[in-house]
Amino acid sequence: MDIIVPVLYEDMEPSIIRWNVKKGDQISVGDTLFSLETDKAVFDVEAEKSGILKKIICVDNSFVAVLEVVGIIDWKLISYTNRVFNLINL
């Protein structure tokens, strides 16, 4: 699943201040992925799906475009891992 820069308001020029997770981290819905700075404020961008952070495309202090893909979450891997864990603990 692609992580995209959300549209918070018209004509925004965002930049990623910092990622709060790193490649390989397990992510749950609602976890803060990164902080996004605009000319108006700083916003935290949260995960919309659980999974493993597979890739960070735009690093800290990068200017980004609205709707740009900045990272990738592998939601299938976490689903598989949870199924295996549940089988082991039967």
What average pLDDT does the segment 76-90 reach?
Answer: 60
What's the burial of 18, exposed, middle or buried (CB within 10 Å: 0-12/13-18/19+)? Answer: exposed
- Which residues neighbour 10 within 8 Å (Cβ) at sequence distance 6 or greater? none
**Higher-pLDDT residue of 35, 84:** 35
Give the residue ranges of DSSP H helices in the chain.
Answer: 75-88
For residue range 8-22, list pLDDT tens digits in order.
888 899 999 999 999
Please tell me the pTM assigned to this model.
0.81
How does pLDDT run across 20-62, given as a tens digit for each residue?
999 999 999 999 999 999 999 999 999 999 999 999 999 999 9
Q: Which token pair is 36? A: 């996004």
